Structure 1
Amino acid sequence: MTTAHPRTQVITQHRFGGPEVLQVEERPRPEPAGEEILLRVRAAGVNPVDRLVRSGALPLYGKPPFTLGRDVSGVVEAVGAHVTGLRPGDEVFAQLDGGGYATHVTAPAAHFAVRPAALDHVHAAAAPTAALTAWRALLDLAHVAPGTRVLIHAAAGGVGHAAVQLAKAEGAHVVGTARADRHAFLRGLGADEVIDYTTTDFATAVHDVDVALDLVGGDYGPRTLNTLRPNGLLICAVPGNPGLAPEDVEARGMRFAVVETHPSGERLAKIGVLLTDGRLRIHVEAALPFTEVARAHELIDTGHTKGKVVLVMPE
């Protein structure tokens, strides 16, 4: 009598397209390699980059089929032979290179950090990409300090609302752009000024900015140059859509950078400290069952979600 190989459920797609191309399939459960862990995923974050990859606008994983998902939180189920820092039963969270929309996933142990006890799996899964991107932009690239004037576009979104809080934690003066119904939310996070981009042209209303974080792309980059001081820094965190070239920025006497993040359990552990002590809070607008992934992507496709959308895995 043979024993059936353990199975796992994954969300995959066999063609590019809208949310309807996402479907749940069953696969053999993966086994961790020497430096990997097998994670029982409890929740997976949904990011704007996921919709770009799903639609074919950003060919991050090549041609379908593939499984999306960069942010996860869950329980270690097994570890590879060379893993020493984690063991089965540990509760962890991570940014991955993909594959997180699944009930089980394998990834290098170095990608993971212990889940902050103050967070449930849903909020832990919402945190990695948003927090890592904001950290990379504002602390590593911009070196935000007390008194720095920071402009954050799409400030109520996933990365945006994390960036507002990180900038305020460093003593910056924060200006955010968002729809009017998001203003109270942003002021609650510490924003000093909030601009309703639907009624006010930020390019003429905001001045003397030291650092601007563009989370929209398109014409926002060129327009944002009008808000910067000489030698000001424009940071783009829109995958595949910087909106302008570095030489265009330099010709205006300003600086330009593009944010790229990579999985890092070490960096995520530092972010975990901020999440634990309350300097950073991740807002989850919707936590949907794993099987409602199309609905989750419909929300992301609107471009107007407040905070994050998370998929909750079946028990």
Structure 2
Amino acid sequence: MRAIVHHAYGTADVLHLEHIERPAITPDEVLIRVRAAGVNHADWVYTSGRPLIARLAFGLRKPKQPVRGRDVAGVVEAVGANVTRFRPNDAVFGEVDAGSFAEYTAAPENQLALKPATLTFEQAAVVPVSARTALQGLRDTGRLRSGQSVLINGASGGVGTFAVQIAKALGAEVTGVCSRRNAELVRSLGADQVIDYTREDFTRSGRRYDLILDSIGNHSLIDLRRAITPTGTLVLSSGTGGRVLGPMGRIIRARLTSLFVGQTLTTGMLARSTETLDELRELIDSGAVTPVLERTYPLSETADALRHFTEAHARAKIAITVSSSADAAE
């Protein structure tokens, strides 16, 4: 099968299209013929090996798992002996630890769900990581309730475009922070107010929010605390941080600060499950949430997709088309 692999850490240039063996599945796994995959910040972390602390899990000198990609949407090719939820030819979406930038990938049954009927495979492929991060960050960690105010920092990004829609579905008053060129997009997703970060610093506006979901990491914790209510919550969902520890230093400082103040400073739960995917499918099929795709790339141009993601300030989501319906029929 064709797959995007890398045998060393580095820029997107280390990614290459190669022919490798199909993955074998365990009794609890599903073999998926991949139709599309989504691009995430995690793909850049795995590819670059940055922050360096991540290599303790990924491989110190070279990646343990050479095939990249986490988000996946496709058709079930085969199921393990213990799998009960899916059968061959089911259209599914979900997450894998690594390996969705390939024609076939294996995934545990409990990390998949039936694909939303209203979405294309490309649209479905960009949902799992980003939409789960938004849903769990807002509802489960942030405990967002109807009538509360929430600010989404990075509202035009992959997590942010889902967060704006999910927050509105939860009944919140939503403020989105983005650049001027993306303001109309964020408004179209349901934001009640949009702040252009090139013109206004929301941490110095004097307004306070019940919840801030920060997917950028471009403000200090002190500044962010100034923008939440005395008993409000700050959820850190991303941020690049330093070369060695990445965002870990910031996360540790946030958790320690929470012990001594009335505000809650924390990170998202990020627990993968079929139940969460089912909830997202219901939101999507009801029309409350729609994935926003900026661009799609063929599998052979995955390196270009990752380059665009990291260098061009990509908005919303990027999908990789792995195979077509005609390919799947062969």
Q: With structure 2 as the length reference, what TM-score do the two structures score?
A: 0.89
Counterpart selection for 2:31 from 26, 38, 42: 38
Contact 2:96 2:106 in 1 (8 A): no
Asked whether 1:306 is paired with 2:318, we answer no
Could you say if the C-alpha distance between residues 159 and 28 of structure 1 is closer, same or farther in structure 2, counting changes exceeding 3 Å? same
Structure 2 unaligned regions, length at least 5: 240-245
Matched to 2:85, the amino acid is G
Structure 2 match to 1:288: 297
The whole-number CA distance in structure 2 between the counterparts of 1:302 and 1:127 is: 22
CA contact (8 A) 1:214 1:221 kept: no
Match of 2:72? 72
The SS at the match of 1:229 is strand
> For residues 157 and 82 of structure 1, what CA distance do their matches in structure 2 show?
38
Q: Counterpart amino acid of 2:289?
A: L
Q: Give the secondary structure class of the aligned counterpart of 1:64.
A: coil
Counterparts of 2:44 and 2:24, CA distance in 1: 28
Contact 2:140/2:269 (CA < 8 Å) preserved in 1?
A: no
Q: Of the candidates 238, 241, 247, which is equivalent to residue 247 of structure 2?
A: 241
What CA deviation, in whole Å up to 9, does each residue of 1:21-40 have, x standing for no partner? 11111111122211111000
Matched residue type, 1:14: H
Q: Deviations over 1:74-127 (max 9, x none)?
A: 000011111122111110000222211111011111211011110010000011
Q: Describe the shift of the 1:280–1:117 C-alpha distance in structure 2 as closer, same or farther (beyond 3 A).
A: same
Q: SS of 2:213's equivalent?
A: strand
Following superposition, the deviation at residue 206 of structure 1 comes to 5.2
Equivalent position of 1:3 in the other structure: none
Q: For residue 136 of structure 2, give the secondary structure of its aligned residue in structure 1.
A: helix
Give the secondary structure class of the aligned counterpart of 1:24: strand
Letter in 2 for 1:258: T
Count of matched residue pairs: 308
CA distance in 2, matches of 1:50, 1:233: 28
Partner Cα separation in structure 1 for residue 44 and residue 255 of structure 2:
26
Identity, in percent, stands at 37
Alpha-carbon distance between aligned partners in 2 of 1:277 and 1:192, rounded to the nearest angstrom: 21
What runs of 5+ residues in structure 1 fail to find an aligned partner? 1-7
Which residue type is aligned with residue 247 of structure 2? N
One-letter identity of the residue aligned with 1:176 = G
Is the contact between residue 217 and residue 238 of structure 2 (CA under 8 Å) also seen in structure 1? Answer: yes
| Cα distance between partner residues in 1 of 2:35 and 2:144 | 34
User: What does 1:17-28 correspond to in 2, within 5 Å?
Assistant: 17-28=10-21
**Aligned residue in 1 for 2:231:** 231
| Conserved? CA contact 1:284–1:307, under 8 Å | yes
Q: Helix, strand or coil for the counterpart of 2:137?
A: helix
User: Residue by residue, what CA displacement relative to the aligned partner does 1:188-215 show, whole Å, maximum 9, x if unpaired?
Assistant: 1110111111121111125121111110
C-alpha displacement of 1:218: 4.7
Alignment partner of 1:61 is 2:70: no
Letter in 2 for 1:61: F
Whether the 8 Å contact between 2:95 and 2:111 is mirrored in structure 1 is yes
Q: TM-score, normalised by structure 1?
A: 0.93
Q: Give yes or no for the alignment of 1:138 onto 2:138.
A: yes
Question: Following TM superposition, by how much is the alpha carbon of 1:143 offset from its aligned partner in structure 2, in angstroms?
Answer: 1.8
Asked whether the equivalents of residues 214 and 220 of structure 1 are also in contact (C-alpha less than 8 Å), the reply is no
Aligned to 1:50, which of 43, 49, 52?
Answer: 43
Q: Are residues 1:126 and 2:119 paired?
A: no
**Which stretch has the larger CA shift, 86-95 or 242-251?**
242-251
1:272 correspondence with 2:274:
no
User: For residues 197 and 303 of structure 1, what CA distance do their matches in structure 2 show?
Assistant: 17
Shift of 1:131: 1.0
1:85 paired with 2:85, answer yes
Which whole-Å CA distance do the structure 1 matches of 2:208 and 2:218 have between them?
22
Provide the rounded CA distance (Å) in 1 between the counterparts of 2:133 and 2:78: 29
